[in-house]
Structure 1
Amino acid sequence: MYIIPCIQLDVVALLTCLMVYVHKNPKQDLGFFSDRHFNRMLWMTVIILSLDILSWLMEGYLPGHGHFAHNVVLALYFLIQTMLPLELLKYCLSICEVQLSKLKQRLLLLPATVNALLLVVNLFRPFAYRIAENNSYARMFGYLIIIIWPLFYILSSIAVCAVRSARAPHYEKETARKILIFILFIFASALLSAFLYGFSPWPMVALGLVYLYLNVHSKQTRELGLLAYKDALTGVRNATAYAFMMKELDAKIQAGDAAFSIVVADVDDLKAVNDRYGHNAGDQLLIHGAKLICDIFAHSPVHRIGGDEFAIILEGSDYAARDLLIKRISREMAYTTFPIAGREHYISIAFGIADYDSRVHRTCADVFKAADHSMYVDKIHRKRARR
């Protein structure tokens, strides 16, 4: 009997959608409209799969429920079947950065509104589908009227992504093409469902959403997340990433499992370089200074926490070799230069280090204060040595 395999496929697809939703963790979304539309598509797919399962059960395994109840379930099914492609179109518009006026947004809702009214009419005057005496579902002459609008939304989504793929910069073409592959996959499933009775497109939709999540949505979210924690000028981590790591270290301190050092580095002469050669030269000083710091502390996260100030968290191998690394700094600075106005200038960086000591430090901020103080002492000594 074909009902049981259909129900089994729907259940697997439903669980797949829920797993994607849990894995993507909506609490960590970055607030973009594409996140919202993707989440809505997931939940609409879950709802329509649930309605599909209920409809199959009513047809074969739940006698005595009444034809009208079955009709209502199918009406909701076809309503979501229209709303989901509409949400897909909104997702594509959001990803492709297409802005619509309020009038156009309302016009987009018009086909879905018409379909909803037709489904209400069908409850009392069947013309699109009906429930036969044996509780089985049967299509009627008006069936194409209620499925043409979902196809309209899907075709519109294809058009949006095709245009974006043709006109977008090279680095955005891949995203548009992957979304286009997903939509074409959904379109093929919808056509098979329209003309092949018994074929359910929703397991295919769930599979397509997994593809979309892995190849577009998740990748985009990861890239944006990385940008949120990256310093635009030097390429090292930024102050936001440092604050996040401080919280992790504080948790280790509370658990009694902390062994780390904090190094505070301050690039000397930034203001003097800015005043004499301009801010572009100052930027180059910071970039080369950050590179020197990263080369020395190759296995530790480097953060730019201020204009010319960096913080490095030493754990693991760098923590064990911290004394050797600090000695290496002076040697490296003696040979490291960068060009300004046709001349080579040496890079000077003041460093301070503090080791976490449970008898002295209660929080990570206490360790930072000690390292910062040590850095200022080193900075004063460097200034005196130049005189």
Structure 2
Amino acid sequence: MLHVSAQGDSPVSLAYFLEKGLNINSKDYRESTPLHWAAFSNAECILNYIIAWGGDLNAQDSKGLTPLHLAVKSYKDNHSTRGIKQLLLKGADRNALDYETKKPIDYVPLPQPGERPDEMALELRNKILINEWSIMGDCLMIKNSFKKQKKSPFTLICYLVLMGVSFFLLEVSSYQVLRVSDQSEWLLYGSQSLFGLALFLWLMVWLSDPGSIKRDPDLNFIKLLDTLEASSLCPDCEVIRTPRCRHCNLCGKCVDRFDHHCPWVNNCIGKGNYAQFYIFVVVQSIYLISVVIVSGLYFKLEFVDDVYAPFEDREMHPWHKYRRGAGILMSFVSALFMVSVMFLCWVQTGNLCRGETTCERYSKTNYRMLHARHQ
């Protein structure tokens, strides 16, 4: 009966039979589990429930096929790759071999000569089922990386290192020359103040609660399925979803008004910390603009006015001999990051004006329809 419930995309009946003591990984005469049936039928809703309740992602049937194999084999009939993406994001093994030593990707048909390319097949072969490490996907999370990921402090440490190195280079080059010239002290102290404020705001966003929805310990989640739609519940967190929440696989929690998971603060951005995050992005942008202005003024004073010439014999800083190289490097790096952060600031400002989150604005899911349905 669990298998029929899985094929019919019915979490309510699945929960009923589980309460009666049936095993979520029970097998039929083909040694298929309920997850096999759900994956083959592209039953997206119950797929999440089975995985959350202990379904074996890499169980093999009598032919050695895993749920991912079956999801790939049936993608044409289902006209969707969403089930495949769900399995991969939850940790399904894309390199699992069946008894014919075939991987899931081997069941994606190759285009024949003169035949019109299948867009979904190309997406599966070139994007979804490949197992390549990339900085853009695995570290910066700018593009989707369809694999189970865990929170990593890598980019968190990178941000601190970059900020520390940038301040050191500024101290060696631009700040040193500005002090000697006795010009634009307000710009010098303003830039240093923005540096400290940016770090403080970064710390606030990192340690803040993004608006995660808390589980009510007195609430019987199984009984909620009798009164609410299964799609309005999160089986992983066992909470009732709000209209604008989303489950973050990295943090393992549902976040209200989910915007995105920011690798630079190693935290989700949502209702609880969006204001701090937006101010942080604005301050970081202004700081980088000030660094570019300071660098421009430095080049004028150093290379045009040569204000440092009378002080060449004075040991103003142990690294003062390297100030020109440090100044050139800092100018290039700060300009590069200024463009990136200002683009992020522009996107977030656009989100505020539109009353949308980044997730809602750029996701293929029609969130406007979802909002209307919950109202």
TM superposition score normalised by structure 2: 0.29
Larger Rg: 1
Which structure shows the higher strand fraction?
1
